[in-house]
Amino acid sequence: MRLNECRVLLTGASGGIGLALAVQLCARGAQVLAVSRQPEPLAALRQRYPQLLTWTGADLRQPQGRARALEAARGMGGVNVLVNAAGVNRFALLEQVDDEQIEDMLELNVTATLKLTRALLPLLRQQSHALVVNVGSIYGSIGYPGYAVYCASKFALRGFSEALRRELADTPVNVLYVAPRATRTAMNSQAAMDLNAELKVGVDEPEQVARAVIAAIEKDLSELYLGWPEKFFVRLNGMLPGLVDRALHKQLPIIRRFSTSHHGKDHP
């Protein structure tokens, strides 16, 4: 797709990968409808690209928030790209997560994404060519200790992307599933970043991820997995999960130590 011909509805636009995407999409000439709860992180970008960037405040967990986003999309004459980048993460063992935190993560990462996509499909179908981009995670393919709820949400998003792509195979709408590895965003706690450093896990900057996503949009790809050796472990986990089980078993004491330390600070 030509970015200067794109009208993009971008969720989670005020931080992390979403904000980096907003910057780079505008720089390439796309019209961007940025949807988030906080306008402040986008203020400078709105001043720089007043003709390209529009902001709509919405909590996508709520029906009225999704309705507001849909109405804004109609107001800009429809969209031909939907980027579902809104999401939340929490590094914690399952026993350290309460009901509200589980519900919040699944509501935003899965339910709100599905409902917003469903609401926008009639607009996307009207285009000569359209794209749904779902920002998932490497943890949508590898179940990792300390991220059981997050993995559940991203496994669901990956399955949704695959099924929706097949549902829409005879329409003008394609679906791109993006799986970043660890990324340096505020969504990741200090404990999670300290764990990555201890395990020598590669961490990308949001700008790197955004560049890769934009390249995938231009090439009309259906899947994008980022990072090495993460891409290798995704394949290994699919073919020989027992090997990955044994590798992660060795990391469990370290994962528990960082998770317990962080949990203790939050719950004295």
- Structure pTM? 0.93
Residue 33 has pLDDT above 90, yes or no: yes
Provide the phi-psi class of 112: left if phi over 0, else alpha when psi is between -120 and 50, else beta.
alpha
State the pLDDT at residue 247.
Answer: 93
Residue 267 has pLDDT above 90, yes or no: no
Q: Can you give the CATH number for the domain in which 83 is found?
A: 3.40.50.720
User: What percentage of the chain exceeds 90 in pLDDT?
Assistant: 84
Q: Which domain holds residue 96?
A: 3-266
- What are 134-160's pLDDT values in tens digits? 999 999 999 999 999 999 999 999 999
Cα separation, 45 vs 268, in Å, equals 40
Q: What are the catalytic residues?
A: 150
SS3 letters across 95-143: HHCCHHHHHHHHHHHHHHHHHHHHHHHHHHHCCCCEEEEEECCHHHCCC
Cα separation, 147 vs 70, in Å, equals 32
Number of structural domains in the chain: 1
- What are 38-71's pLDDT values in tens digits? 999 999 999 999 999 999 999 999 999 999 999 9
- What are 201-256's pLDDT values in tens digits? 888 899 999 999 999 999 999 999 999 888 899 999 899 999 999 999 999 999 99
Provide the phi-psi class of 78: left if phi over 0, else alpha when psi is between -120 and 50, else beta.
left
Per-residue pLDDT band at 12 (split at 50, 70, 90): very high
Per-residue pLDDT band at 266 (split at 50, 70, 90): very low
